[in-house]
Structure 1
Amino acid sequence: MTTRQAVVARGLIMRTAERLYATHGFAAVSIRQIGEAAGQRNKSAVQYHFSGRDDLIKAILAEHAEAIERHRLALTAPDGEPGDRIHRFVLPRIEHHIDLGTPSWYGRFLAQVTVEPALREYAVQAHLNTPSLRGLRLDHGAAATRHRDMTRQLIVHMSAELEMELAREQPPPEMAAAAWRRLGADLVTAIGALQRA
């Protein structure tokens, strides 16, 4: 297998795993099923590219975190005010969902990851361990940690809901983008209210 073939196969396995995990959950999908659905004739193709399920999941999370990070770094607004921090936390994720198009599976995949105790920390680290988020001045303490956890859950699960709705309705791209941006504005408002509470 050439390097290019390996890169293509790896990407295909990642997209297939994301879709299967998003639609069926982790317990219902085996590594072998992912390889077969990705059109890999070699039964150990997934293990060839990834050491196992957790390595595959980490790779998917890292790829999306990098894409979200590019959007966040493009925001030039200062982060001194709480509202600026909320925008910088929420809107890059929304723009990434728009980039993915419809149908997409990342929102539902991430929702599955965050409710799986053994995998949740992978998602948290993939998204919080980026330079732009480390640079945001976040409040500390038990209440601030709870607010961040609530914020994360709100973003993840509302994104998964909208992604599922768009996949079902298949609107034109401009209508899908408008729906994502409405969700982004609603999330900024809700998170701002949560932080003021």
Structure 2
Amino acid sequence: MGHLVTTGRTRAAVARSLIMDTAERLYATRGLAAVSIRQIGEAAGQRNKSAVQYHFSGRDALIKAILAEHAAAIERHRAAMACPEPALMTLTERVRHVVLPRIEHHIELGAPSWYGRFLAQVTVEPALREYAVQAHLNTPSLRRLYDALAAQDDEQGPAATRREDMARQLIVHMPAELEAELAREQPAAEVAAAAWRRLGADLVTAVTGLIDALRASSA
């Protein structure tokens, strides 16, 4: 009996993972509005037309599960970084802390991958945008960083919110662009990894410069 229960759970886990992977790919390449729950189930090879609803209560729950899985993977990369206490970080160190674990996650995903384009789609969906943001901000390492920043007067208020929003556009949409390019060109793994790390370095420079410039203009 125990073996049968374990087998059933394993099959359910496999089906759930397959549905998530399929949904991520379809949403990334077609957009959220163009993909139905039924299409996801069919593309995932699920004979039961209600398979997606069985494993997830609906579209939003499915998308949130995908976001949570990636956020956890990125958090593992961030936890492995050697960083000073958040309150002691320079601006560049803070930006690196946000950006580089995401870059390492993209490299780990291999090619083709869909997460960058999936996230870009989700962040322009009004009903899901805030959840997508919070899925990452509420991870332990970023929570510590933002709590430390919140204690500093110059990091609070509408100006700080605008800076974060503008930086987020770069951090979300530039990886989506590179991911699409790599999917088209299909370079060797080491070439793709180098491209991701170049983007990571460029993002750190660009976001740091953006924040510095906006701080100066609002001073």
Aligned partner of 1:182 among 180, 190, 198: 198
Aligned to 1:113: 122
Match of 1:164 in 2: 180
Aligned equivalents of 1:15, 1:118: Cα separation in 2: 21
Matched with 1:99 is 108
1:132 maps to 2:148: no
**Which of 180, 192, 195 in structure 1 is aligned with 2:208?**
192
1:62 aligns with 2:94: no
Quick one: which amino acid aligns to residue 84 of structure 1?
E
Output the CA distance in 2 between the equivalents of 1:140 and 1:11. 40
Runs of 5+ in structure 2 lacking a partner?
Answer: 1-6, 150-154, 214-219
CA radius of gyration, larger in = 2
Match of 2:52 among 31, 46, 54: 46
Percent identity over paired residues: 77
Structure 2 residue matching 1:26: 3-state secondary structure:
coil
Question: Secondary structure of 2:35's match?
Answer: coil
Name the SS for the 1:103 alignment partner: coil
Give the C-alpha shift of residue 157 in structure 1: 0.5
After TM superposition, the structure 1 stretch with the greater mean CA deviation from structure 2, 121-130 or 179-188, is: 121-130
d(CA) in 1 for partners of 2:9 and 2:28? 28
1:25-59 Cα offsets, whole Å, 9 max, x none, are: 11110000000000000000000000000000000
Deviations 1:49-108 (A, max 9, x none): 000000000000000000000011111121421111111000000000000001000000
**Structure 1 portions without partners, runs of 5+:** none
The alignment of Structure 1 onto Structure 2 pairs a total of residues equal to 197
For the aligned residue pairs, the C-alpha RMSD in angstroms reads 0.9
* Partner residue in 1 for 2:171: 155
* Match of residue 217 from structure 2: none
1:122 aligns with 2:138: no
* TM superposition score normalised by structure 2: 0.88
Moved over 3 A (4+): none
Question: How far apart are the structure 2 equivalents of 1:66 and 1:183?
Answer: 22
- CA separation in 2, counterparts of 1:158 and 1:26? 19
Tell me, yes or no, if structure 1 residue 37 matches structure 2 residue 43. Answer: yes
Q: Secondary structure at the match of 2:183?
A: helix
Which residue of the partner structure matches residue 10 of structure 1? Answer: 16
TM-score, length of structure 1 as denominator length: 0.98
Residue 195 of structure 1, CA deviation: 1.2
Structure 2 distance, partners of 1:195, 1:28, is 36
Q: Secondary structure at the match of 1:2?
A: helix
* 2:149 paired with 1:143: no
Task: Report the residue type matching 1:71 in the other structure.
Answer: H
